[in-house]
Amino acid sequence: MRMADLAFTEYEALVREKSPIVVIPCGALEQHGPHLPLATDAMIPTMLAERFVPAFGGIVAPTFTYGVRSQPKSGGGNHFCGTTSLWGSTYALMVADIVEEFGRHGVKKIVMLDGHTENQPFLVEGVERALVNLRRDGITDVRVIRLAYYMAIDAKLQATLFPDGLLSWDLEHAAVMETSVMMALSPSHVRLDRIPDDPPADFPIYETFPIDPAPIPCHGVLSSAKSATAEKGRAVVDTLVAEFSDLIPRAFR
Ligand SMILES: [Zn+2]
């Protein structure tokens, strides 16, 4: 059930009568190599949410497609053409405004389903600010869950994705996991002939400002995605959809 497709009267009736869980997918518009779309971090949580909300009669709200500034060690950095980001402070205020609006309209259960690492602290700040503001207005019964979908990839899924061992989750940007999941969820969005297969990025332990582009591969992928397959992606999608179908309604009980 997509909120954006509903008439306000239908949405209002649902909120009043069913107190549904509303899932807000949170992503980014960030380069994901030459083989994946810029909106990959937004598309994955959106497509997952559309698959698991029917299990509990939930609603998928429009996705936050712009995210917090990309960093070299997690997303390649903000200097890539098309990586179109918000400052964390702007993002936190945007999240706060939207969560507050949902709270004011009577939504009690909200899930922020995140697909972009850099969003994390600012997403939390936005949610906390919204709850403080709502409380001031006497609305005290809104609960929000922040859930980064990739945190649910357990040891078993990790072994499926990386039969020869995982190099580093930090270097998985646009690599095996995201490429496999996109192959499963939306194969037409993956340019199979353009998957780079280079050695992993070699970053120093420190960070340099202004950003030093030298250790960042020019194609933006931080480790090889060559071993991505749709089968691996389906294993992740099926496991996460089953897990979230059960975990999310339980978290609100
Ligand atoms: Zn990503």
**Does 79 qualify as catalytic in the annotation?**
no
User: What is the whole-number distance in angstroms between the Cα of residue 208 and the centre of ligand 1?
Assistant: 22
User: What is the whole-number distance in angstroms between the Cα of residue 48 and the centre of ligand 1?
Assistant: 14
User: What is the whole-number distance in angstroms between the Cα of residue 12 and the centre of ligand 1?
Assistant: 34
User: What is the whole-number distance in angstroms between the Cα of residue 70 and the centre of ligand 1?
Assistant: 10
Mean pLDDT of the chain, nearest integer: 97
The burial class, CB within 10 Å (0-12 / 13-18 / 19+), for 90 is: middle
The pLDDT, as a whole number, for residue 165 is 94
The pLDDT, as a whole number, for residue 25 is 98
The structural domains of the chain, ordered by start, are 3-251 (3.40.50.10310)
The strand ranges marked E within the chain are 21-26, 59-60, 67-68, 85-86, 109-114, 143-148
Residue among 41, 100, 114, 172 flagged as catalytic: 41
75-105 pLDDT, tens digit each: 999 999 999 999 999 999 999 999 999 999 9
Where the chain has pLDDT below 70, the residues are none
Residue among 35, 100, 114, 118 flagged as catalytic: 118
**Does 118 qualify as catalytic in the annotation?**
yes
Question: Closest Cα to residue 49, out of 230, 231, 248?
Answer: 248
Other CB atoms within a 10 A radius of the CB of residue 38 amount to 19
Written as one letter, the residue type at 87 is: W
The pLDDT, as a whole number, for residue 154 is 96
The pLDDT, as a whole number, for residue 106 is 98
**Does 105 qualify as catalytic in the annotation?**
no
**What is the largest distance, in Å, between two alpha-carbon atoms of the chain?**
56
Residue among 100, 114, 172, 178 flagged as catalytic: 178
User: What is the whole-number distance in angstroms between the Cα of residue 40 and the centre of ligand 1?
Assistant: 6
User: What is the whole-number distance in angstroms between the Cα of residue 33 and the centre of ligand 1?
Assistant: 10
